[in-house]
Each structure stands twice: as C-alpha cells, then as structure tokens.
Structure 1
C-alpha cells in the first residue's frame, strides 16, 4: 500500500510542513527579540555602583591596612612596578612623558594611570620584537623573493615605525571616538542641567540626574558626569572636580563649561542663564559643522561623478546612436 502525501507538494517538499517549520522559526526569533528588548541592562549601572561604594568609603573615612587592598586602590600591580623599574634602569622613563600618556589614557576613558608605564614599555619593546620577526620573514626566510632591496628596506622600516606608533595611535583613535560621542550629547546635557538648576537642585545633584537621564543615549558623557558628581560630593575644593572633568575630556566645549561652573561658584552668578547661553552656542556650532559638511559635498561628489556616473550617462545617450551608425556602415 502506497502512502499518500498529506498535503500539497512543491519540488518534492510538503508545503504545509515547510510552512510550519518556517512559522516556528519566526516565532522563536520573535521570542528572542522580545527577550533581548526586555532584558536590556544599563551599561553604567556597574560603574556607578563601584563609584558610589568608593564615595561611601571616603565619606566614612575607611582606611584599610591590608597591602593587597591598598595596592588595588592605588591602582598598582607587580607588572607595572617591574616594567617601571626596568625602564628606569634604561633611562627611558621621564615624568613629562608619563604625564602625557596618562592624559591620553584619561581622554580614551582609562582610569588606571599606571597603564602609562605599560604603554611606554610596549612602545619600547614592540619595535624590537616586531622588527626581528619582520627581518626574519623579509631577509632570512625570503618570504617575498620578488621584492628588490629598496622595497625590502622600506617595508622593514614601515613595520618598525608602525610597531613604535601602534600603542599611541590606538589611544589617539579611541580618544577621538570618545570625544566625538561626548560632543554629540553635550548640548542636550546642558539643557538638562539648565532644567535641573531652575528646579532648585544643587550642582552635584544636577550632574547626577543628567548622568542618569543621558546614560543610555550617551554612555561616555554619562560616565564623566557621574564621576564629576561623586567628586563634587566628597572633595574639599569643588574647583578640583571641575578641573578633573576638563582633564579627562579633550574638548574645548567641556573646558568652557568647566570655566563657567567655576566662575559661578566663585562669583555667585546665575548658573541657569550661563548654561543656557553655552547650550545655544554649542547648538549653533553643531549646526555650523553640519552646514560645513553639506557645503563640502558638491566638491567631494565631483570625482565619483566623473569616474562612475558620466561614463554610464554617455553610454546610455550615445550608445543607440553609435549602434545605428555602425549598422548603417555595415549594410553599405
């Protein structure tokens, strides 16, 4: 007895069965999407929790005598100490150089200042290691036999230079991206600060509230504002907290905000009006940058227009005429 198909067949497959499987997969994907949307976690929650715990410790005056915890709070490790001692013996570690790298680390969002020693050590060791590997591949193994002497020399020099500049370029790239994200959210943050100031909140409470409101949209800016609010609550000089904010963010707009906050703290000028003026200036500046990019667009599109669009347009317009002329000449 031959089994009859239970449903319509298409290319040898049961249409109802295939539809059922696809519907099940679609339902499963929808459940996963809903679960991912419902269980979104705030990326700043863990960071703010750690900073709040540190603030409570500083307020209560808790001082631990355990060497392990003291080293953790001082952000030191055996690795950084060994690297620092080695670089000190080689006379390649300078205080000015350490301060520059520490500021670049702060601009990139790294709070651990001891990483500056690691960056300087990597900049000193990577050219040797990478250069040795490149020399082995280029000259000893002869991995590229078709290269001439000058090409080999330039390739070797380029690899060594890239290894030397690699850590610094990484920090610069990450700092530039972080600064750009902070710059995007700064006008909105100033508007919220104006609202908080007019509502009667203190400066540290206003910074904390803005950090919570903008934490998901602009996590970098929310992180900086949260840290500033915590520093404002326990530092003896509030000016130091504002200066730390200007130190951590490589942005002239933030330096202007810091100067305004310090002046309002010193002279007692209205904070809301000053921040409102700054917010309007930053929005105008952002609009001017957008207009500048729009004005540069015709000049940027000239090369693609000449290379890609005009040849196609000539083919479409002149192609039929060329075909007609060629047919007329062939028929003669």
Structure 2
C-alpha cells in the first residue's frame, strides 16, 4: 500500500517546508538572544589603546635621553624581518609606506608597523594565490573542460584579486568607519557648541563629547578622545587638529578642523561657527536619508518578488489548495 504524505503544493511537501522555516526562525531567535546578552562596551578596547597613546605622548615629551626613549618603542621582530626582506629586494619605498600608514590610520589601525605587512601582502599574495591557481590550472590539469581563454581569465583574475586584497580590505574598513563617523558628527558638533558656550576649553570639550557619544558612536569617540589627548600633550595644537583630519577621510571633518584652526589662530567665536557647521551637516544627513527613502521602492522590488510574494501565495492559497485536493480525493 502506498504511503500517504502530507499536503503538497507544486510537488513540495508543505509540512517539510514549515518544519524547515520553523527551525530557521528558532535559530534566528537564539542568535538574537545571544547577541543581546553578550553585548560588550565598544569603547573598552579603544579606551585602553588611547591610554597607551597618552603614555607614549607623555613619555616622548618628558624623556630626556635616547636610552629612555628606546625603551618606550616596542619593536615587532616579525615586522623588522619583513622590512629587512623588502629592503633587500629594493621594493620598500618611503612613499608607499607613508600611504599605507595613512590608510591604516583612516581604517582605525593605530600600529604604523603594519604598513610593512600591507606592502608585503601585495608582494606575497599574488605569488601564493595566483601562483597556486596557475599551478592547478596549467600544471595539474584543473578546469580541463574550460577553454584556454577562460582558464587564462581565471588565473589573471586570481593574480589581480590577490594583489588588490590588502587594499580592498583597508578600503572596506575605511568606508565603514567613515560612514559611522559621518552619522555622529552633527550630534558631536551640537555637544561641542554646548561645551564651548559653557566655558570649557577645547581639549576639555573634546573629552566631554567623546565620553558622552562613546557608546553611540565609538569610532567618533575614539577620534575625539585621541584629539583631546594630543591637544594636551603636543606643543603645537594645530598639529593635533591636522592629525584628526588626516585620520578621518571625510570632508566634513576637514571643515571642522579648518574652523578649529581659525578660531585658535584668530580668536573668532567658536560656538557660532560650530553651530553653522552643525546645521549644514544635519541638512546633508537629512538629504541622504531622503535619497535612500526615494530609492527604497526600486530596491525592494526584487526581494518582494523572490521572497515576500511566494510566501504570501503559500499562506493564502495553501489551505484552499489542500481543501480542493481533499475534496477531489474523496470523490
């Protein structure tokens, strides 16, 4: 006797699909509970790194002998070996190192010695990944059913992606960090205006804003805290503001830095200038939100067709199809 299964729609068992979706939903609920219960303070590691930076600045100013300065610099043996290797190959240029260090700072990575690792990755990854792909395709007969042009294309793609991988990784981190800073900048400027009108100094105002916005915008709080530390320890306060503009790849931050430098140099009112900048940044943020809202219908078309409409058809037509099937089988 043939076994009778559950109701089906278009040849798919409805009970099996419902069980699968229930399992996915239960996993998503457990994942959400885990994420909510294991939330950590995003500023914990950043505060520790900034305190280390404070000690470095303090030690760099107060150290009187070269021996004491040498103790403060922790050389990474692996980085030194990579630097020596690249120097022997005549591929380590100062301009490349400075450009890599700038990208690392903009990505939130404070250790400048990693710039050598980025250049080393550009050199080694094409040899490892691209060479491995070429060996597999041409030496071991991989993808033999493909044409010669396709095999050449996949090998060339592997070489190019391997060479660009460090830059793509840094570019992605810089983009995410810049977007996070852009979101919190208008609120930070409003708080700076309040602190300036309350009579706080510039470095104290930066400290206060970083403490207030550190949890909501940890990247912005990180940059403001580091700027406040440099304002307190660097002999040239202008250099601290220029460092902020160099660490953040954002035109709005460069505008704030220019305003701060002008107020420091000419003694112009800080609160009024920051209030104008804050209003401009808020209008810009509102325009970006309106632009995203206008694009939403076009973006939602494909998910609506692929995911929402089939589910809606199953919910609406499923019971009716099961009833019709049962009625036909009984007759």
Q: Decide whether the 8 Å contact of 1:204 with 1:233 is kept in 2.
A: yes
**Aligned residue number for residue 255 of structure 2:** 256
**Aligned residue number for residue 86 of structure 2:** 87
Q: Whose Rg is larger?
A: 1
1:189 & 1:286 partners in 2: Cα distance? Answer: 14
TM-aligned CA distance change 1:214 to 1:313, over 3 Å: closer
**Aligned residue number for residue 69 of structure 1:** 71
Q: Deviations 1:232-262 (Å, cap 9, x if unpaired)?
A: 0111111000000000000000000000000
- Taking the TM superposition and a 5 Å limit, the aligned residue runs for 1:233-252 are 233-252=232-251
Structure 1 stretch displaced more, 163-172 or 85-94:
85-94
2:235 & 2:70 partners in 1: Cα distance? Answer: 27
Q: Decide whether the 8 Å contact of 1:58 with 1:234 is kept in 2.
A: no
**Aligned residue number for residue 162 of structure 2:** 163
1:207 & 1:312 partners in 2: Cα distance? Answer: 51
**Aligned residue number for residue 4 of structure 1:** none
**Aligned residue number for residue 224 of structure 1:** 223
1:295 & 1:145 partners in 2: Cα distance? Answer: 48
Of 29, 53, 56, 1:54 maps to: 56
2:36 & 2:80 partners in 1: Cα distance? Answer: 48
1:64 & 1:298 partners in 2: Cα distance? Answer: 64
TM-superposed CA distance for 1:303, in Å, is 5.6
**Aligned residue number for residue 144 of structure 2:** 145
Matched position secondary structure for 1:65: helix
1:107 & 1:41 partners in 2: Cα distance? Answer: 18
Over aligned residues, Cα RMSD in angstroms? 3.1
Q: Decide whether the 8 Å contact of 1:246 with 1:255 is kept in 2.
A: yes
2:194 & 2:169 partners in 1: Cα distance? Answer: 38
TM-aligned CA distance change 1:33 to 1:110, over 3 Å: closer
1:178 & 1:94 partners in 2: Cα distance? Answer: 27
Are 1:132 and 2:134 matched, yes or no? no
Matched position secondary structure for 1:222: helix
TM-aligned CA distance change 1:213 to 1:308, over 3 Å: closer
Matched position secondary structure for 2:224: helix
2:68 & 2:275 partners in 1: Cα distance? Answer: 48
Instruction: Give the aligned length.
Output: 283
2:36 & 2:152 partners in 1: Cα distance? Answer: 57
**Aligned residue number for residue 211 of structure 1:** 210
Q: Decide whether the 8 Å contact of 1:64 with 1:70 is kept in 2.
A: no
2:204 & 2:50 partners in 1: Cα distance? Answer: 14
TM-superposed CA distance for 1:77, in Å, is 2.8
1:304 & 1:216 partners in 2: Cα distance? Answer: 33
Q: Decide whether the 8 Å contact of 1:208 with 1:229 is kept in 2.
A: yes
Q: Decide whether the 8 Å contact of 1:192 with 1:210 is kept in 2.
A: yes
2:205 & 2:157 partners in 1: Cα distance? Answer: 50
1:157 & 1:36 partners in 2: Cα distance? Answer: 43
Matched position secondary structure for 2:67: coil
1:96 & 1:55 partners in 2: Cα distance? Answer: 25
2:158 & 2:37 partners in 1: Cα distance? Answer: 47
Q: Decide whether the 8 Å contact of 1:71 with 1:77 is kept in 2.
A: no
TM-aligned CA distance change 1:169 to 1:36, over 3 Å: closer
TM-superposed CA distance for 1:79, in Å, is 2.7
Are 1:294 and 2:290 matched, yes or no? no
**Aligned residue number for residue 186 of structure 1:** 185
1:178 & 1:167 partners in 2: Cα distance? Answer: 17
TM-aligned CA distance change 1:119 to 1:313, over 3 Å: closer
TM-superposed CA distance for 1:53, in Å, is 3.1
